[in-house]
Amino acid sequence: MRIVTVTGSPSGTAAVLDQSLSKTSPALLRYRKSVTSLTDAEVSALRSALSAMLALHDDRGFEYWAGIHGLPLPISCWHGSLLFLPWHRAYLYYFEQYLLDVMPAGISVSLPWWDWSTQAGIPPSYADRTLPDGTVNPLAGAPVSGIPDDQFTEENVPKVTQTNRQPGPTGPGHGPAGLPSAREVSAALALQTFDDFSARLEDLHNQVHVWVGGTMSEIPVAAFDPIFWAHHTMIDRLWALWQQAHPGARLGGVPLDFPLGPFPTLNVSQTLSVTTLGYQYAATTSSATPTA
Amino acid sequence: MATFESNPQTLTLTAPGEPYRRADLAFHGVDHSRASFEARLFINNPGAGPETSTDDPSYSGSFWIFGHGGCAGDEGHCEPPARRRAFDFRPEHQLTAMSKRVIITDKLQELVRPGAEFSVRVVPCVRPENAEPLPASLVTNLLHFDRADLLTYQ
């Protein structure tokens, strides 16, 4: 499915945020782009902002936000639940806010998505460990830090100090790429109820975690890998596309006022419109300023 | 450290005698506390194992578990309470067993006559690369669920 967006407009199920959260003008909506459509300058800015977050060891930093998903305890993410999509949308939203806080002056890059269904393999901008100038590529890996040693036991995931990946096929018969196909994504988007769609999309999501392997393959440390954020932005995008295709669809039994901890200003209903959260997904954008 | 050994399980179910437009296989009480895995479903193929390809005609879909990777807390931390007290408004325990559902309509209609008994082989699969760094306890007897239901809709 292709979306061409040139102006912001409400989409998806209506949600009402507090006035304090709804001052964003549609004209100021951010557009989350595909990893492959980022310009060199945008990739550079993304790397710079991520490096800045990595350098912070307080509650604005990468370590803190990566740790919310899994270790250190408590593990806060929701999986195997209809809260999977709302919770991760809130998680991305908060992470993105802190990322935007440390963007280089004069440029702003929202979280990009990795379309693993059409772009087999880790995107080059996330794969190359070193950059042409010899510096470390912060999108290729990150320290796994801030976790007390006693939360790595003999009975859980081994202690690691740096993320690692082992991308590869997930088993015989899943094709050479081993990632969910565009046909599987289309089939998921065609499902009519939120329950069906959420369950199927979460399964495709799980498959990608297993495909990336290494740190990404288990919940406790997955979010420390920078590719986690591009993967989940893809998942969030697919939910947004499904919402556009199924306007008015209800969330089944999900209580809309359920608080999405530990994000203090968001409950389920406040995640239902990406526009209300200040962003949209765009396959292409075209902008212009008026001339006389 | 660990080598994954699959522990497939077999279900025996009965297809509906009446026509149906959709069939789901719903698994309940699925454990997700340890390694991530894929559970592949094969209809009427009791010998299916982790090496059986998803190109096999009996392959009918799969579900994926994104695992919790074992317990990082003290004793009892990862044991969901047997029952919740009244007025306990905390979120559910993270490791409460989950339900998974796979839509198997096309394969069931293709492979099983109306009203016939059939088997489903449920085969857990873990990538060797992902299993290797984990303790054996996270990949041993990995597949566990309490019940499976075939649900059809007309």
Cβ neighbours for A120, distance < 8 A, ≥ 6 positions apart:
A176, A177, A179
Domains of chain A: 19-281 (1.10.1280.10)
Q: Is B76 on the interface with A (CB under 8 A)?
A: no
Neighbours of B147 (CB within 10 A): 11
pLDDT at A6: 29
The stretch A208-223 carries a mean pLDDT of 96
Question: How close is the nearest chain B Cα to the Cα of A223, in Å?
Answer: 13
pLDDT at A4: 32
Q: Which residues of A touch B45 (CB under 8 A)?
A: none
pLDDT at A171: 65
The stretch A97-102 carries a mean pLDDT of 96
pLDDT at A213: 95
User: Out of A172, A214, A217, whose CB is closest to B51?
Assistant: A172
Q: Which residues of A touch B62 (CB under 8 A)?
A: 203
The one-letter code for the residue type at A21 is L
Q: Is A44 on the interface with B (CB under 8 A)?
A: no
The answer to whether A156 contacts B70, with C-beta atoms less than 8 Å apart, is yes
pLDDT single digits (tens) A126-182? 999 999 999 999 999 999 999 999 999 888 999 999 999 999 876 655 655 789 999
Which residues in chain B land under pLDDT 50?
none
pLDDT at A25: 47
The answer to whether B71 contacts A156, with C-beta atoms less than 8 Å apart, is yes
The stretch A221-235 carries a mean pLDDT of 98
Contact B45, B52 (CB under 8 A): yes
The one-letter code for the residue type at B12 is T
Residue A132 preceded by cis peptide, ω within 30: no
pLDDT at A10: 31
pLDDT at A21: 44
pLDDT single digits (tens) A55-80? 999 999 999 999 999 999 999 999 99
pLDDT at A65: 98
Of the residues B22, B42, B64, B90, the best mutation for testing chain A's interface (the one with the most A CB atoms within 10 Å of its CB) is B64
Question: How close is the nearest chain A Cα to the Cα of B94, in Å?
Answer: 8
Helix A62-69 × helix A84-101 angle, to 10°:
180
Residue B33 and residue A204: Cα distance in Å, rounded? 19
Q: Is A167 on the interface with B (CB under 8 A)?
A: no
The residues spanned by each domain of chain B are: 9-13+24-70+93-153
pLDDT at B95: 94
Q: Is A159 on the interface with B (CB under 8 A)?
A: no
Whether the pLDDT of residue A285 is over 70: the answer is no
Helix and strand element counts for chain B (H, E): 2, 7
The stretch A185-214 carries a mean pLDDT of 96
The stretch A240-262 carries a mean pLDDT of 92
Highest mean pLDDT among A115-129, A158-172, A210-224 belongs to A210-224
The answer to whether B72 contacts A203, with C-beta atoms less than 8 Å apart, is no
User: Out of B30, B64, B94, whose CB is closest to A207?
Assistant: B64
pLDDT confidence tier of residue A291, bands split at 50, 70 and 90: confident
Residue B40 and residue B122: Cα distance in Å, rounded? 6
> pLDDT over 90 for what percent of chain A?
77
The stretch A224-246 carries a mean pLDDT of 97
A-B contacts at Cβ under 8 angstroms: 120
Whether the pLDDT of residue A16 is over 80: the answer is no
